[in-house]
Amino acid sequence: MANCFALMGWSLPVIESVQKSGLPYVVVSFPEFGPYAKEHNIPFVGYKLDEFGSHSNSLELVEMLKPFNADVAVPLYEETVEWSGALNSIYRDDPRVLNRAFLFRNKAMMKRKALLGGLKVGLFEEVHSKEQVHKFLDRLNEAELQLSGEDDAWFHAKPFAAAGTIGHHFIRSRDDIDRKMSVKDFPCLVESHLSGKEFSCEAFIQKGKVRFLNITEYVKLGYSNFIPAGPELEGKRELILSEVQKMVDIFGIEFGMVHPEWFVSDDGKTINFGEVACRIPGGHILELCGQAYDFDALLAFVVSHDPNMTEEELDKYFPPKGYMPEKKFGNVMVFPKPGQISRLEIPEELLEEPYYMDNNLVEPLGPQKITARSGFGNHFGTVNFAGEDPQRMRELLKHYEDVPFYV
């Protein structure tokens, strides 16, 4: 059992879970959160996590955490992954832990490791200019045996180290390159489009073995999802589990939770590896997971990082092995449409819907202007659903993505 968990990053839902469990913890985040933490009795260490140098580094942070007896670092956000890696490599006296952390923070490096290990990835390269992108497209088209007059192969351009879909460009033609990409996108990773149904999963790892796997079905990435996935995906669980374990082996992950994204073909025979993160996934996925399987998934996320926890101790935090719930829990993240909004309006049909659970949509403070979204941040709240029919769930989520809650 760990002496104290250092939660890297500010997340109230995680703090709530850990506080309830009674496990000792301390939160490490930007100093601005200090006063709030004090007010609400949250053990806290303020640190400028966005700076790195002789004045700000993991060795110093370890010292600051000593009074709390911290011995396990838990990364809650993309930006704290390397900090956690650094701290854990000190705590476990294993320098490779830090290197592994960097795998998650550079998509190109991640892909290369996956490729070396034998996971199925697309054709990918690191590029530094539009010219290189054009040359990449040439090579890709060539490999796809393109005849003149045929459409260009599709590919994606992504920054090396951004969360979600920030800075992501989906390129469907040569024109798109010049139209969508600009100087500030470089350097970045380009990868050929992976076909298949996209889904993510959350794999909780202990001593290098996947001890619990959740599969999430997206209705629309960034807007809505539900857990457990429908039968089409759940039916492929064995294949998915073996690929995930393979990935875990390749990356050498020993403890924690990973959130890989995959593309699976309809016949279930091929799985392509998208990318993997090791921090808390967006879209309230762990909340949904917890509600569906009836356990505190955020807490499970935290304790999975403890190398000294035994199997029996861990079992307490997870659902019974092999348990597959009947009811699906899903949500829609509501973003107001661009334009002028002045108030919140809940549609009648939603209130009549038996699958509708509740919502926490905030009222706009006054008339305001909404600009186009970027990177899925800052939704105005979620609308939650629960029910047994995955088809109905898909319908509802799809429908309510488009309904304007803010007018």
Where do contacts with other proteins occur on this chain (CB under 8 A)? 12-13, 15-16, 19-20, 36, 40, 42, 340, 342-346, 348, 351-352, 354, 357-363, 367, 381
Check: CB of residue 383 under 8 Å from CB of residue 323.
no
As given in the structure block, the two tokens for residue 357 are: 């659970």
Residue entry with tokens 């104290």: 4
Residue entry with tokens 């890989």: 260
Closest CA to 330 of 242, 233, 218, 252: 218
**Alpha carbon distance 152, 212 (integer Å):** 40
Cα torsion 277, 278, 279, 281 to 10°: value is 50
* CB 333, min distance to other proteins, A: 14
**Alpha carbon distance 102, 97 (integer Å):** 9
Check: CB of residue 303 under 8 Å from CB of residue 206.
no
| Pairing mode of beta strands 328-333, 224-227 | antiparallel
For other proteins, give the closer residue by CB, 13 or 307: 13
For other proteins, give the closer residue by CB, 116 or 351: 351
Say which DSSP state 74 is in: E
* CB 82, min distance to other proteins, A: 27
As given in the structure block, the two tokens for residue 71 are: 């011995």
For other proteins, give the closer residue by CB, 151 or 363: 363
* CB 164, min distance to other proteins, A: 22
For other proteins, give the closer residue by CB, 20 or 48: 20
* CB 291, min distance to other proteins, A: 11
As given in the structure block, the two tokens for residue 214 are: 């959740």
**Alpha carbon distance 73, 306 (integer Å):** 9
Check: CB of residue 50 under 8 Å from CB of residue 79.
yes
For other proteins, give the closer residue by CB, 159 or 330: 330
For other proteins, give the closer residue by CB, 42 or 309: 42
Residue 200, beta-bridge partner list: 216, 261
* CB 28, min distance to other proteins, A: 17
**Alpha carbon distance 39, 37 (integer Å):** 5
For other proteins, give the closer residue by CB, 17 or 88: 17
* CB 362, min distance to other proteins, A: 7
* CB 42, min distance to other proteins, A: 8
For other proteins, give the closer residue by CB, 182 or 360: 360
Cα torsion 279, 284, 289, 292 to 10°: value is 170
User: Residue 188, Cα to own-chain centre: how many angstroms?
Assistant: 20
* CB 345, min distance to other proteins, A: 6
* CB 303, min distance to other proteins, A: 19
For other proteins, give the closer residue by CB, 16 or 249: 16
* CB 382, min distance to other proteins, A: 10
Question: Exposed/middle/buried for 183, CB within 10 Å: 0-12, 13-18, 19+?
Answer: exposed
Say which DSSP state 373 is in: P
Question: Exposed/middle/buried for 110, CB within 10 Å: 0-12, 13-18, 19+?
Answer: buried
**Alpha carbon distance 17, 2 (integer Å):** 16
For other proteins, give the closer residue by CB, 238 or 348: 348
